[in-house]
Amino acid sequence: MARFRIGVVGGTGYTGAELLRLLSVHPSVELGAITSRSEAGRAVADLFPNLRGKLDLSFSRPDEARLHACDLVFFATPNGTAMKQVPELLAAGVRVIDLAADFRIKDLDLWERWYGMTHACPQLVAEAVYGLPELNREAIRSARLVANPGCYVTAATLGFLPLLKNRLVAAESLIADCKSGVSGAGRGASVAMLMGEVGESFKAYGVAGHRHLPEIVQNLQLATGQEVGLTFVPHLLPMIRGIHATLYARMTADSDVQHLFEDYYADEPFVDVMPAGSHPETRSVRGSNECRIALHRPQGGDTLVVLAVIDNLVKGAAGQAVQNMNLMLGLDERSGLDVPALLP
Q: Could you list the active site residues? A: 151
Q: Is the dihedral of CA 326, 328, 329, 331 positive or negative?
A: positive
Comparing CA positions, the residue from 211, 203, 3, 10 lying closest to residue 99 is: 10
Q: How many residues does the chain have?
A: 344
Residues 171, 149 contacting (CB under 8 angstroms): no
What is the amino acid identity at position 344? P
Given a contact cutoff of 8 angstroms between Cβ atoms, the answer to whether 270 and 323 are in contact is: yes
CA 239 to chain centre: 18
DSSP structure string for 228-282: --EEEEEEE-SSSS-EEEEEEEEBSS---HHHHHHHHTTT-TTEEEPPTT----G
Phi, then psi, of 296 in degrees rounded to 5: -140, 145
Is there a contact between 272 and 292 (Cβ–Cβ < 8 Å)?
Answer: yes
In what helix (H) or strand (E) does residue 196 lie, and over which residues does it extend? helix 195-198
